[in-house]
Structure 1
Amino acid sequence: MSVYDELGPEMQAFARYLKTADDLMASEAIEDVRSATRRLRDEAGRAIPFVETVEEGAFEGMRYRTYRPAFAEGVTVVYLHGGAWSHLDLDVYDPIMRQIAADGPVKVIGFEYPLVPEVRFPANMEACVGFVRQVILDEPNTPIVLMGDSAGANLAISTAIVLRDRHKIHVAGLALIYGGFDLENERESAARYGGGELPMTTEGVRSSQAFYLGEDGDPANPLISPIKADLRGLPPTFLSVASHDNLYDENIEMARQLGYAGVSVELKIYPRAIHGFLEAWSVTGSRNAKTALEDLARFAVARGR
């Protein structure tokens, strides 16, 4: 049986949807890639959850978007989107952030950090540090949960480390969703799930990481590969892991390293799920994805109590 055949029908449909994105992104021009990914979502007829208040804002010239349910719990989620540090945006992630806000119900702020190649590390991470710090200053009595998926999970934990070390600021929780945490090493799951049957191949991951690093980036830098960082003193952390992801082993090891550092860790593996599967709820109605979104909202609300 192929790894594709191991997926359920809804996740297979979602895999085909993302494969369409892979085909659209064949161009090496980053603007073509960005346009293709936006066009795919525009044409998908995605389900858009209702949230009472949605407001646009800007922080030092960068967009953010705030989702406020009518009766939100006393905690704020800051969400950092994925997209290989180089593409995707608030509009692509709108259904995901709306659903987390609605499921809480909890206030969610999505931040559109600067992308490569327009900037290089550490500019994108520093933008996240500055934004999260500003949210904490603006809401001094509100617990802040930092949440991110894929490249956004990498930025989320690195941001939490910098806030801890440089500013002596601690977020209330970290939610890390199928993140890329080690740009220096590949693990066995990269071969198992990254060969081309599923979206996001290992070859594609290598290209994205090289793009992020540029000519001068060091993959051993603990703020680039946070699996190598001093993780002590980080807040309670929830790891959402897709079973059929070439980053699967990396995420399991990240959970282990957090536990070794004394961090309270909750790890949940979602069966027959692929990288990026949170989006499958709005695209194919995947109950697996809906459960994951509910789990993220539950974790955030718990950090405010």
Structure 2
Amino acid sequence: MKTIDPEMMAAIKEHKELQQADGGVPDTLVENRRQQNRLAPHWSDGAPAVAKVLDRTIRFNGEETDIRIYQPHAAKPDAVILFLHGGGWARGTISTGDWACHTFAAETNLTVVSLAYSLAPEAPFPAAINDIRAAMDWSAEHGAELGFNGRRVFLTGTSAGGNLSLAAALARRDHGEFMPIGCGLLFGVFGDNLETDSYNAYGPGQYGLSYARMKQYFEWYVPEGVSSREPLISPLYADLSGLPATFVGIAEFDVLRDDSFLLAGKLAATATPLTVRYYEGLAHGYAMFAKGVPAARRALSDTAAFFRDVASGGCNAEHELQR
């Protein structure tokens, strides 16, 4: 497809207008996070219905952490979906993933837990990964109280959340910990090469995420003395064997598009059951803008279908790497 989906483009434009009405794009990271929280309810309004949405504070790694629990109607105890928002490891909140979490809960009948993991630069790599590992252990201990099997966990996330989902799975494998039963990786960042074809095409940020912003994100996330090619930062350099069934969702108009194609190619060479979906016309962040973009809602339904299939014991591999 040579042109962006008009509804996707309209949503990007609308978001920019909302930012301007809110005083413009903030100068500081702290204010940027606050603005995201203020604007998030606009994009979650009208999301698929669930039975309850509960905000809780839990404690692990010596710190208190916020979570948001989405309990569906006719909830199944089979598993839980742990959702990780995007935002370049430095921005984003549990509110910015609201529409996706409602969709996953409503369309799978599985409980969804959205985690407010530690953010860079205050808490750079590997703080967020350690939070996610601890959240999985918390889930195993407390899942029964909330009506789900907390040892059967899906890890899923958007953008940086996709990166963290995969990195946390790799870290748990390497530490001999119980593994997620599946990973849903949506328009994620998986490598440190900012000169791919998709970066060159969309780096100016005409469809949202830009080269400059990704460069800044890496600078915030990667501590001094650590290589950005550390496998848990850039999983394209990792041993990808021993992973659970994985879904890779790829947006066409996205600087990170080629990251996902490269990751899918490497996963296809392993025994990992793999489902790949390439969404022509969609841009980075489509999950957040699903309210106004029917194609984005269909894309999220594809991910939900993957969760349903794996939770029920299926894990059909569908290699779709063509562009």
TM-score by length of 2: 0.86
- Is the CA contact (8 Å cut-off) linking 2:158 and 2:287 kept in structure 1? no
Q: Say which is worse superposed, 19-28 or 206-215, in terms of deviation.
A: 19-28
- Correspondence for 2:9 among 6, 12, 30: 12
Residue number in structure 2 paired with 1:271 = 280
Q: Could you say which structure has the greater relative contact order, defined with CA pairs below 8 angstroms and 6 or more residues apart?
A: 1
Gaps of 5+ in 1: none
* In the alignment, structure 1 residue 230 sits paired with structure 2 residue 239: yes
SS at match of 2:37: helix
The aligned amino acid for 1:129 is R
- Correspondence for 2:250 among 241, 244, 251: 241
* In the alignment, structure 1 residue 177 sits paired with structure 2 residue 186: yes
- Deviation, structure 1 residue 123: 1.2
- Is the CA contact (8 Å cut-off) linking 2:194 and 2:211 kept in structure 1? no
Partner Cα separation in structure 2 for residue 213 and residue 142 of structure 1: 30
- Deviation, structure 1 residue 216: 3.4
The aligned amino acid for 2:197 is E
Residue number in structure 2 paired with 1:66 = 69
TM-score by length of 1: 0.91
- Correspondence for 1:295 among 302, 305, 311: 302
Residue number in structure 2 paired with 1:90 = 94
The aligned amino acid for 1:295 is D
- Give the 5 Å matches for 1:30-49: 30-42=29-41, 46-49=45-48
Partner Cα separation in structure 2 for residue 208 and residue 20 of structure 1: 24
Residues 171-228 of structure 1 show CA distances to partners (whole Å, capped at 9, x for unaligned) of 1101000000002453111011222322111121111121111433320100110111
> Structure 1 41/209 Cα, relative in aligned 2: closer, same or farther at 3 Å?
same
SS at match of 1:279: coil
> Structure 1 53/22 Cα, relative in aligned 2: closer, same or farther at 3 Å?
closer
Partner Cα separation in structure 2 for residue 246 and residue 103 of structure 1: 29
Q: Say which is worse superposed, 179-188 or 110-119, in terms of deviation.
A: 179-188
Partner Cα separation in structure 2 for residue 82 and residue 290 of structure 1: 17
User: Percent identity over the alignment?
Assistant: 27
- Correspondence for 1:190 among 199, 202, 212: 199
Residue number in structure 1 paired with 2:321 = none
- Correspondence for 2:111 among 88, 91, 107: 107
> Structure 1 166/20 Cα, relative in aligned 2: closer, same or farther at 3 Å?
farther
- Deviation, structure 1 residue 290: 0.9
The aligned amino acid for 2:295 is N
Partner Cα separation in structure 2 for residue 63 and residue 209 of structure 1: 24
- Correspondence for 1:135 among 130, 139, 148: 139
- Is the CA contact (8 Å cut-off) linking 2:79 and 2:110 kept in structure 1? yes
- Is the CA contact (8 Å cut-off) linking 2:139 and 2:151 kept in structure 1? no
SS at match of 2:67: strand
The aligned amino acid for 1:65 is R
* In the alignment, structure 1 residue 53 sits paired with structure 2 residue 25: no
* In the alignment, structure 1 residue 204 sits paired with structure 2 residue 213: yes
Partner Cα separation in structure 2 for residue 19 and residue 195 of structure 1: 15
- Deviation, structure 1 residue 137: 3.9
Gaps of 5+ in 2: 144-148, 313-323
Partner Cα separation in structure 1 for residue 44 and residue 198 of structure 2: 32
> Structure 1 43/165 Cα, relative in aligned 2: closer, same or farther at 3 Å?
closer
The aligned amino acid for 2:50 is V
- Deviation, structure 1 residue 279: 1.8
Partner Cα separation in structure 2 for residue 97 and residue 25 of structure 1: 28
The aligned amino acid for 1:116 is A
Residue number in structure 2 paired with 1:145 = 154
- Deviation, structure 1 residue 20: 4.4
